[in-house]
Structure 1
Amino acid sequence: MQSVIGWTLGEWHAAYRSGAMTPDRLLSLAAQYSADDSAWIARAQPEQLAMQLAQLNDRLDAVGGDIDKLPLYGVPFAIKDNIDAAGWDTTAACPEFAYSPTSDAAVVAKLRAAGAILMGKTNLDQFATGLVGTRSPYGAVGNSFNADYVSGGSSSGSASVVARGLVAFALGTDTAGSGRVPAGFNNIVGLKPTKGRFSNTGLVSACRTLDCISVFALTVEDAAAVAQVAQGYDASDAYSRSNPYTAPVSVGASIKLAIPASLEFFGDTQNQAVFEQAVEHFKALGAVISEVDFSAFKALADQLYSGPWVAERTVALEGMLEHQPQAINPVVRGIVENGLQYSACDAYKAEYLRAELSRRINDTLAGFDALLVPTSPTIRTRADMVLEPVRYNAQFGYYTNFTNLADLSALALPAGLRADGLPCGITLLAPAWHDSALAHLGQRWQASLELPLGATERQLPAPAAAQQAPGTVRVAVVGAHLSGMPLNFQLTTRNAVLVEQTLTASTYRLYALPGTVPPKPGLARADGGRSIIVELWDMPIARFGEFVVEIPAPLGIGTLMLADGRSVKGFICEPWALADALDVTEFGGWRAYVTSKG
């Protein structure tokens, strides 16, 4: 079998379309998985794969044999073993807890319906409690670059199998950073979605109000593509939410980033050096970096384990604590038992504090594209963790623990290799529903680096053609709304982002309308026309109506044809207003006409 180690989604798709790969060859891939690899708790057995391949064939028949209609056709993936899959036990890394679900978790069902093939379930810090990857009876998961170091957790196995290219992507979970710290420690991407963007039906909860199923991939492009398949409102999950489509979907040419005014690395000068290099690299990409007060972030992070919020983990394990406490990892048990000391009054006070700090955090982030932080301030050896399992774990969560408490979205990215060869990562954080904007910025970041993908030594392939972001309207503007023009603020204040400058089809004429303030053009379809310069902007769909309401007669929004055959929404003009208008078509665009008038 040809090597498929480290293939991206695009490479899987290309191989299937060309016939160079067929899904049945995944049987050979599964046979290559080592039986003593501690990243796995369960590997797909031949009969499980055969059943999935038969289902895949049925799905392909249902779409007329067009694999492009199955966006994850034949793509191998893995899931953390606190997520259900029918036909597989769910253990949460505790054999005594294990059960056999009869249905897939909602997210797993979506991925399989899109054609993905489940190759196995992965190891984790027991009950998703830990950021280390060492708290499992199935064995510690070593770092994919140096097994003497921790892999990060709790989604240790999922990060490991992705970093080594054994699957194209994997699901983890993230409550306190479990979808980000392992990404940083293994040189991969960790997408922590907005809470409620993915359904948690079929997930073993750690903290039900905070838990997020997350995505690990070698590239931001792949992580974002998987997230588009996995997302969606689910009425069976009380914490599921619908995307309001009001947030920005990309980041403009001018990047505005916040960083903590005071940074903590716990003496790890190698991590500090990589982060400082990352800040300078962002500046080279045109980013404006501003320092912000980090005290509210730090205070909220401390609440997750040092206050009543830990009792939510106690609730999740209430039955195990009562009936089988000896089955729980001693470090995990010590953490969750702390929740028994808090009262209901303590819990309400903690919620009031969370709300106050969350408001301060979101106010701090207003006006920035993202907060840039180290994914983890430091990394430790597995031997270190034996000596200080709680203190060093807390250090790993310094820049992660506040995220879900504050209802933020996050994207962990590779940043570089330290002097000792270990990976070091950065994380971008933004308010809820800014997921697409973070992915857009993350793709620009990853494309600007020359880092191997995970631990595979493969390089980032050429990106796929950019697609319009879901939840947006693409609007063509031709006059006073162009960049730098008087009404451009009507776009930017609604989180619209410039996509490109292009041309209409050669069937339009441009007119300067008399008496308009500020001066505005009218665009009209006509015989004997020519191509006119326009800008394309993507606007969140929920803001589009506000924008249209502000457009005065005789202008309106219709459908424009572009020179390359695309059709988009754009400005049109009622014919009655053109009789007294000046034809300025010869200038080819409004900006050139305005310039000609001095």
Structure 2
Amino acid sequence: MTDSDAIADRLRRAPLYRVLHALARGEISSEALTGACLAAIARDHALNAWTWVDDAGALSAARASDERRAAGKPLGRLDGVPVAIKDNIDVAGLPTSLGLPGHHAAAREDAHVVKRLRGAGAVLLGKTNLDEGAFGTIGRNVHHGDVGNPVNTGRAAGGSSAGSAAAVAAGHAIIALGSDTLGSIRIPAAFMGLVGHKPTFGELSCRGLAAGLRRLDCPGVIAHCVQDIALLLPVLAGYDAGDPRSRKRRVPLAPPDWAPGELRAGVVADLAALGVSPEVVERFSTAMACVAPVFGSTQPVALDIAPMDIAATRRAALLLMEAEILAAHGEAMQSASERLRGLLAFAEGKSAVDFARADRRLDAYVVQVRRLFEQFDVLLLPTVPMAPPPAGAPEPSNLADLCALASLAGCPALSLPLSGGQGLQLVGAPGSDLRLLELGEIISAVADCGE
């Protein structure tokens, strides 16, 4: 292995900010880095992290990036950075399979977030594997193979953005785009020792993202550290008139102005009642003992009261999600597994009144969460209720319950890695993404995150 090969092999596992520095200083070329990522993808094929890999397109884009840098005219912030895209997000010229079998026509244009990545010079490596139909929490796919966990081997990868997380964890890509409807970014990020960010609903355009549940769907990022996400959010965020739910800011996305000594933190205190395992309760309590001094004040928050029945509200959201998947992808679902077709069939037996009741329940939940954030500025809780289950084990029914709290209310959420495939989750009021990212960097420095 040459010195250049060794540098490329090391950098493919490095945080984004380190890679950007290396590319800007000429320590590594995009072509060498992209080649190292593609070689790793080929070696790790048993991981089942990818559905489509565009070797020729990626290498061509990398060479073009190197030429721009040599001319002193980089295209944008991410010029030359190898990126993975979840296979429910459109990339022009590549199929969007949604984890289903068969032939899929190539997308005619990039999803809005992909267009912003490409516009910043990112090198798009291909599409990553996911739970079938993006409907799952453990990375299970009978068509493309279950996604492996390269960090906690023999354990579930988490989902549905399983391949995106595995690609970053294994050094196949520097960063990855995923989608999060009820925890699909944060769960695999926690299971693989990574950072996952679900933005405020509407902050990133969903145009070109295959619908799961439009009132909850969010594109988001999986990366090695919080600083990487802080670099990416301004690139990806922005109003899109083509997305009816796109959030139009009155002021530009900018760092928040807040006094740490006055920051109020709510800490979920009824974890056992929410089905959290003793192992996770203990790990979360240890992390909170380190984190508490960061805030001006902390207060316990109970979520097991009837209006905040997260599990029941998540089930209402699943009914809406099943109906929307059938409405948006009904023909494609004919090739789905018997398991997925059976889950979706549940929605066909419900009435319009049932769907209206479920929708109204979600509206009531949003109001409850808004009232919670009148009491504090940020809510802290575990990302997942248990450590990663063994690969091949039955899918736990409550794996997304703790992530659902933020999703159901459209709140931003950040998952920081804790040891043992667990995560520390920060949830903020809508629009507080940058506050969460600043807090996440501080907490990562003082807590035993990922150690």
Q: TM-score, normalised by structure 2?
A: 0.89
> Offset of 1:268 from its aligned partner?
2.5
Identity rate, percent: 30
Q: Is the 8 A contact 2:129 2:162 kept in 1?
A: yes
Q: Is the 8 A contact 1:131 1:152 kept in 2?
A: yes
> Offset of 1:274 from its aligned partner?
0.8
Higher helix share: 2
Counterpart mapping for 1:291-440 below 5 A = 291-294=300-303, 295=305, 298-305=308-315, 307=316, 310-318=319-327, 321=330, 325=334, 327-382=335-390, 385-386=393-394, 389=395, 392=396, 394-414=397-417, 416-417=418-419, 422-440=420-438
CA distance in 2, matches of 1:450, 1:381: 22
Q: TM-score, normalised by structure 1?
A: 0.68
Q: Is the 8 A contact 1:144 1:186 kept in 2?
A: yes
Size of the alignment, in residue pairs? Answer: 437
3-state DSSP class of the match of 2:292? helix
Counterpart mapping for 1:421-570 below 5 A = 422-449=420-447, 451=449
1:23 maps onto 2:30 in alignment: yes
Q: 1:120 matched to which residue of 2?
A: 126
| Matched residue type, 1:12 | V
CA distance in 1, matches of 2:37, 2:391: 33
Aligned pair in 2 of structure 1 residues 302, 251: CA closer, same or farther (>3 Å)? farther
Aligned pair in 2 of structure 1 residues 304, 285: CA closer, same or farther (>3 Å)? closer
Q: Choose which of 28, 33, 38 in structure 1 pairs with 2:48.
A: 38
Q: 1:213 matched to which residue of 2?
A: 219
Q: 1:558 matched to which residue of 2?
A: none
String of CA shifts for 1:566-592, please: whole Å, max 9, x gaps: xxxxxxxxxxxxxxxxxxxxxxxxxxx
Q: Is the 8 A contact 1:298 1:398 kept in 2?
A: no
1:152 maps onto 2:158 in alignment: yes
String of CA shifts for 1:359-397, please: whole Å, max 9, x gaps: 1111112242211111011134345633xx3xx1x3211
Aligned pair in 2 of structure 1 residues 39, 360: CA closer, same or farther (>3 Å)? same
Q: Is the 8 A contact 2:151 2:169 kept in 1?
A: no
**Which moves more between the two structures, 183-192 or 30-39?**
30-39
CA distance in 2, matches of 1:126, 1:359: 32
Aligned pair in 2 of structure 1 residues 383, 156: CA closer, same or farther (>3 Å)? closer
String of CA shifts for 1:344-367, please: whole Å, max 9, x gaps: 222222222222221111111224
> Offset of 1:32 from its aligned partner?
2.8
3-state DSSP class of the match of 2:416? strand
CA distance in 2, matches of 1:323, 1:94: 8
3-state DSSP class of the match of 1:51? helix
Q: 1:227 matched to which residue of 2?
A: 233
CA distance in 2, matches of 1:178, 1:245: 29
Gaps of at least 5 residues in structure 2 are: none
Q: Is the 8 A contact 1:378 1:395 kept in 2?
A: no
| Matched residue type, 1:201 | R
> Offset of 1:85 from its aligned partner?
0.8
Q: Is the 8 A contact 1:92 1:98 kept in 2?
A: no
| Matched residue type, 1:336 | L
**Which moves more between the two structures, 50-59 or 158-167?**
50-59
CA distance in 2, matches of 1:127, 1:195: 21
CA distance in 1, matches of 2:174, 2:100: 26
Q: Choose which of 262, 266, 275 in structure 2 pairs with 1:258.
A: 266
Q: Is the 8 A contact 2:314 2:401 kept in 1?
A: no
Aligned pair in 2 of structure 1 residues 59, 194: CA closer, same or farther (>3 Å)? farther
| Matched residue type, 2:168 | V
Q: 2:245 matched to which residue of 1?
A: 239
> Offset of 1:250 from its aligned partner?
5.3
- What RMSD, in angstroms, separates the aligned Cα atoms of the two structures? 2.5
Report which of the two structures shows the higher radius of gyration computed on alpha carbons.
1
String of CA shifts for 1:217-259, please: whole Å, max 9, x gaps: 1110101211110111111111111124499825532232112
CA distance in 2, matches of 1:250, 1:98: 47
Counterpart mapping for 1:132-171 below 5 A = 132-171=138-177
Aligned pair in 2 of structure 1 residues 32, 165: CA closer, same or farther (>3 Å)? closer
**Which moves more between the two structures, 170-179 or 309-318?**
309-318
| Matched residue type, 1:96 | G
Higher strand share: 1
Aligned pair in 2 of structure 1 residues 102, 39: CA closer, same or farther (>3 Å)? same
Gaps of at least 5 residues in structure 1 are: 454-598
String of CA shifts for 1:318-360, please: whole Å, max 9, x gaps: 47556753x2133322222211222222222222222222111
Q: 1:541 matched to which residue of 2?
A: none
Counterpart mapping for 1:55-70 below 5 A = 55-56=64-65, 65-67=72-74, 70=76
**Which moves more between the two structures, 430-439 or 349-358?**
349-358
Counterpart mapping for 1:46-125 below 5 A = 47-53=56-62, 55-56=64-65, 65-67=72-74, 70-96=76-102, 98-125=104-131
Q: Is the 8 A contact 2:287 2:447 kept in 1?
A: no
CA distance in 1, matches of 2:370, 2:195: 24
> Offset of 1:189 from its aligned partner?
0.6
Q: 1:484 matched to which residue of 2?
A: none
Q: Is the 8 A contact 1:308 1:346 kept in 2?
A: no
Q: Is the 8 A contact 2:149 2:156 kept in 1?
A: yes
CA distance in 1, matches of 2:173, 2:331: 38
Looking at both structures, which has the greater relative contact order when contacts are Cα pairs under 8 Å and sequence separation is at least 6? Answer: 2
